[in-house]
Amino acid sequence: MEFYAESRALARVRTDCAVVGVHEGGELGPAAANLDATLGGRVARIVRGGDFACRLGETLLLPDLGRSIGRVLLVGLGARKGWNRRSYRRALNAAAGALLKCGAKDALFLLGSEAVPEVDAYYRARFVAEAIGNATYRIPDLKTGKKPPAPKLARVGVATERAGAAHVSRGLEHGQAVAAGTAVTRDLGNLPANVCTPTYLGNYAKKLAREHRGLRVQVLGEPQIRRLGMGSFLSVTAGSEQPPRLIVIEYRGAGAGTAPVVLVGKGITFDTGGISIKPAAGMDEMKWDMGGAASVFGTLAALATLGAEVNAVGIVPACENMLSGRATKPGDVVKSMSGQTIEVLNTDAEGRLILCDAITYARRYKPAALVDIATLTGACVVALGPTCTGLWSNDDVLADALVAAGQRTGDVCWRMPLLEEYQEPLKSNFADFANVGGREGGACVAAGFLWKFTDGLRWAHLDIAGTAWLGGANKGSSGRPVPLLFDFLMRRA
Ligand code: BES
Ligand code: MN
Ligand code: ZN
C-alpha cells in the first residue's frame, strides 16, 4: 500500500474514490462543500433529500460518477457537537471497511483534512494509515478452500493544505510503521499454540532480525536460562514438553551513549493454569497469553521499519504453562534470579514468575526505563474491561508519559495504585513471599509482586489482559498496545 499527502486542488486530482465526511444536520464542512462544488451539488442534494442520515460510522457509496473522481464514499460523522478523536477514529474504521468492499484501486481521504478538536494533522493522517492497515489485515487462518481475494486498494492519499503536507506525510509514514508492527503482533497472537510455541517465537525473532537492519537477536535455551539462575522462570516451564526460550531483541537507532528503553513481554504460549488448572470453558483464549511478547515484537518491528532514532531492547521469556509429573506443585518454593525465594501457591499465577526473572535480566542494559507488558490478570479485565490497559508505575514521569501516549493514540491506559498494602497478602511462612494473595485487588497485588523486583529501576507495568484481544464476531488479537508503545518511544526520539 502506498500513502501520500495530496495538496493539489480537488479539480486537478484524479481518484477512483473520494472519501468525505458529513455531519448530521446536513451542513457541509469545508472538505465536503469543496467536493460538492466539484460535483455540481450532488452531495448536498443527497444529504438534504434524507437519503443519508450521517450517523456516525454510516457509509454511502455514490458509484460511477464517470469523472476525474470515479466515485464518492460518504461517511457519517454524527453530531458536530462531541466530534472528537474517538468519533474520528470510528468514522475512519467505517470508511476503511467500506472502501475495501467497494473495490476501489486508489482513494483520496478528504475526511483526513476534517478539523478534529485535539487531533493535529500528523495524527489525523497517522490514524488513516492505521485504520487502512487494520482493515486490510487478514488472520493467518488455517482454513482450507478458497481464500478471499486480496484487497484491490493500492494507493491512498490524504488531502491537506500545502502548509500541513509535511506533517501529513510524517503521520502517514508513522501510521504505516504502526500498522506493520500491529500486523506482526496480531499474527503472533492469532496463531494457535500448537504452531506458536516458544521455539517458534525464537525463530520469528530471528526472522525479524533478518528482515530489518538495526535489529539484533539472541535466543537463549534452557541450559543458558538455568545458568542465569532463573529458577522462577524455569518453574513455569517444568511441566511442558516444549523447551523454553529467553528471547532478546536489541534495536539500536540512537547513539551508543543513550540508555535504552527495555520492553519485557510475557510470552506464555499457552496457559492451562498448570496443576492449579483452569476450567475448560474458554481455555482456548489462553493461546493469547503471549500477547505481551507479541506487542514487544510488533513495537520493535515498527521502530525498525521506520529507522526510529531510539534505543530499545525487547526481552521475552517464552514458555508453556502445562501439567505433568514434572510440573511445579502448589507450595513449591523456587529461587528467582534476583535471589529472592517465592512460594508458588497457585501455578496459574505464572506470568509474574517468568516476568520477575526477565526484569532482573534486563538490569544488564541499565535501562532508561523498563516497561513490562503482560496479559497478567483476569482481575484487570474485571476492573477495566476491554477499554483501558491497566498501568502501574513507581515513577510519575514515566507513568504520565504512558498515559499521554495512550490519550494521543486512542490506545488508552489508566493508572492504578501501586501501594505496599497490596504486597501484604503475599506474606509467606515458607519463602520470602508467595506468588498470590487472595482474590481481592488481584491486579494490584500482581503489580505489587513485580514491584519487588524493580528496586532502582524506572519501571511501569501494563496489564493488557482485557485489551490484547477482541471477543465476539471479531474474535482475535487486537494488536494493542503497539500504537501506545510506539508513540511513547517516538516521543523519546
Ligand atoms: N493469563 C492469565 C490472566 C488472564 C485471564 C488473561 C483471563 C486474560 C484473560 C494469568 O496467568 C492468570 O491465570 N492469572 C490468574 C491469577 C490468579 C491465580 C491470582 C487469574 O487472573 O485468575
Ligand atoms: Mn495463569
Ligand atoms: Zn497467564
Q: Is 244 in the pocket of ligand 1 (CB under 6 A)?
A: no
Q: Which fold has domain 180-492?
A: Aminopeptidase (3.40.630)
450-477: average pLDDT:
97
**pLDDT tens-digit series, residues 165-204:** 999 999 999 999 999 999 999 999 999 999 999 999 999 9
**pLDDT tens-digit series, residues 271-330:** 999 999 999 999 999 999 999 999 999 999 999 999 999 999 999 999 999 999 999 999
**pLDDT above 80 (res 263):** yes
Atom of ligand 1 nearest to the CA of 376: 3
Q: Is 465 in the pocket of ligand 1 (CB under 6 A)?
A: yes
- Residue whose CB lies within 8 A of the most ligand 1 atoms, among 377, 384, 439, for a mutation test: 377
Number of residues written out for the chain: 493
Closest CA to 264 of 380, 361, 402: 361
**pLDDT tens-digit series, residues 342-377:** 999 999 999 999 999 999 999 999 999 999 999 999
Q: Is 381 in the pocket of ligand 1 (CB under 6 A)?
A: yes
**According to the model, what pLDDT value does residue 51 have?**
87
Closest CA to 291 of 366, 381, 405: 381
**According to the model, what pLDDT value does residue 64 have?**
79
Examine the residue annotation and report whether 278 is marked as an active-site residue of this protein: yes
**pLDDT above 80 (res 415):** yes
Q: Is 16 in the pocket of ligand 1 (CB under 6 A)?
A: no
> Which one of 352, 408, 452, 480 is the catalytic residue?
352
14-29: average pLDDT:
92
Average pLDDT value over all residues in the chain: 96
- The CATH architecture assigned to 2-136 reads 3-Layer(aba) Sandwich (3.40)
At 487, is the pLDDT very low, low, confident or very high (cuts 50, 70, 90)? Answer: very high
Name the strands in the sheet holding 433-434, side by side, starting at the edge strand that comes first in the sequence: 332-335, 341-344, 433-434
**pLDDT above 80 (res 21):** yes
Q: Is 76 in the pocket of ligand 1 (CB under 6 A)?
A: no
159-165: average pLDDT:
95
**According to the model, what pLDDT value does residue 346 have?**
98
Q: Is 320 in the pocket of ligand 1 (CB under 6 A)?
A: no
CB 56 within 8 A of CB 116: no
- Residue whose CB lies within 8 A of the most ligand 1 atoms, among 295, 348, 356, for a mutation test: 348
CA distance 114 to 33: 12
Residue type for position 74: L
419-438: average pLDDT:
97
> Which one of 278, 329, 363, 458 is the catalytic residue?
278
Atom of ligand 1 nearest to the CA of 436: 19
Within a 13 Å sphere around the CA of 134, how many CA atoms are in the beta-carbon half?
24
**According to the model, what pLDDT value does residue 185 have?**
98
Residue extents of the structural domains in the chain:
2-136, 180-492
**pLDDT above 80 (res 8):** yes
**pLDDT tens-digit series, residues 35-62:** 999 999 999 999 999 889 999 999 999 9
**According to the model, what pLDDT value does residue 33 have?**
94
Residue whose CA lies nearest to ligand 1 atom number 7: 378
Q: What is the percent of the chain where pLDDT is above 70?
A: 100
Judged on CB neighbours under 10 Å (0-12, 13-18, 19+), 204 is buried
**According to the model, what pLDDT value does residue 124 have?**
97
Q: What is the pTM of this model?
A: 0.97
Query: What is the three-class DSSP state of 82?
Result: coil
Examine the residue annotation and report whether 266 is marked as an active-site residue of this protein: no
CB 445 within 8 A of CB 426: yes
Q: Is 359 in the pocket of ligand 1 (CB under 6 A)?
A: no
